[in-house]
Amino acid sequence: MNLAELNKVAEAMVAPGRGILAADESSGTIKKRFDVIGVESTEDSRRDYREMMFRSTEAMSKHISGVILYDETIWQKAKDGTPLVELINKAGAIPGIKVDEGAKPLPGCPGEVVTVGLDKLADRLPKYYAQGARFAKWRGVIDIGDGIPSYACIHANAHALARYAALCQEAQIVPIVEPEVLMDGDHDIDRCMMITEWVLKETFQELFYNRVAFEGMVLKPNMAIAGNKAKNRAGIDEVAEKTVKMLKNCVPAAVPGIAFLSGGQSDEEATAHLDAMNRIGNLPWKLTFSYGRALQAAPQKAWSGKPENVAAAQRAFSHRAKMNGLAALGQWKADLEKKAA
């Protein structure tokens, strides 16, 4: 393992004003997204859609540091025969790959899941590296509900994340470590904060036991945020303050950066929260975005599967990428959204 190289890639992933595009939707998830805009999900339509984003020069070259790809996408070629990985590289962004194989029910823990996919990971990683991937992603899912999460679930997911991260670094690939406490449910922000701290502490303990170098990884957590069915939703400043406090309690300063997931927040909400955190300032790590839906919902709608809509979709994508790039610098303002509209 060359830690200096891993650190260089991790630092580039969280470069000031740039963040990560999560374009790693599984075939099932992208089908749901395409159903909404009335597009049939085929290998070609998925490729055309992603190619549209990767060819969006302004967004990719100025505001996107890396792209998380799905297994299908990393091997695909654009319509003109150029490998999609090459389009990402040409734009100055780093290709990455989602390597987990989804969540399965956790035995003995009703209503809880554990992420699988470690078995052949050591064999798969060198092939992804050869194809151009320089970072990877693995997501552990923790739900808040009646009597859950259990320690068994938190420990199982933290351990899997740490094993994955160690395998990645061994293969000279930077791991994005993504423990996601879901915002489904009616819990308040304080319960989310308490559970997320528990999850993060357990995860970093496991990373330490598995000899993962913190300088060569990126953390992708949820924000401290109330459940989407909660009676009282916390305001932007409260979310920012509590999230920063939670991270300071748990995340070693050696970690180069934290790239948040949007986790079901609206586009503008995710941007406003990130901006408010960066305005707090004086943080040991860079805070940026690794958004999927919060970057893609607008361009998807604008595109709607029609070639004549590509330019409009690219404008929508560039706008969201720019807004989040500003939020990563603490320079976003709500009226910038109105101007564009």
Arithmetic mean of pLDDT, 139-165: 98
**Average pLDDT across the chain, whole number:** 97
Pairing of strands 135-142, 113-115: unpaired
* Bridge pairing between strands 113-115 and 103-105: antiparallel
Looking at residue 341, its pLDDT comes to 57
pLDDT for 71-83, tens place per residue?
999 999 999 999 9
For the stretch 19-58, pLDDT in tens is: 999 999 999 999 999 999 999 999 999 999 999 999 999 9
* % of residues, the chain, pLDDT over 90: 99
| Angle between helical axes of 43-54 and 293-303 (0-180°, round to 10) | 110
Q: Which residues of 229-244 are buried (b: 16+ CB within 10 A; e: fewer)?
A: ebeeebeeeebbbbbb
pLDDT at residue 3, as a whole number: 98
Which structural domain range is residue 35 located in? 3-340
Catalytic residue among 25, 112, 178, 206: 178
pLDDT for 338 equals: 82
Does the active-site annotation cover 286? no
Its pTM surpasses 0.85: yes
How many domains is the chain partitioned into structurally? 1
Q: Mark whether 8 is an active-site residue.
A: no
Say if strands 64-69 and 218-219 run parallel, antiparallel, or are unpaired: unpaired
Does residue 323 carry a pLDDT above 60? yes
For residue 139, how many other CB atoms are within 10 A of its CB? 20
Residue 233 C-alpha from the chain's centroid = 23
pLDDT above 60 (res 230): yes
- Rounded to whole angstroms, the Cα distance separating 330 from 240 reads 12
Q: Is 98 a residue whose pLDDT tops 80?
A: yes
Give buried/exposed letters for 89-105 (b at 16+ CB in 10 A, else e): eebebbbbbbbbbebee
Mean pLDDT of 199-208: 98
CATH number for the domain that contains residue 155: 3.20.20.70
- Position 339 scores a pLDDT of 75
Which residue in 137, 220, 242, 322 is the catalytic one? 220
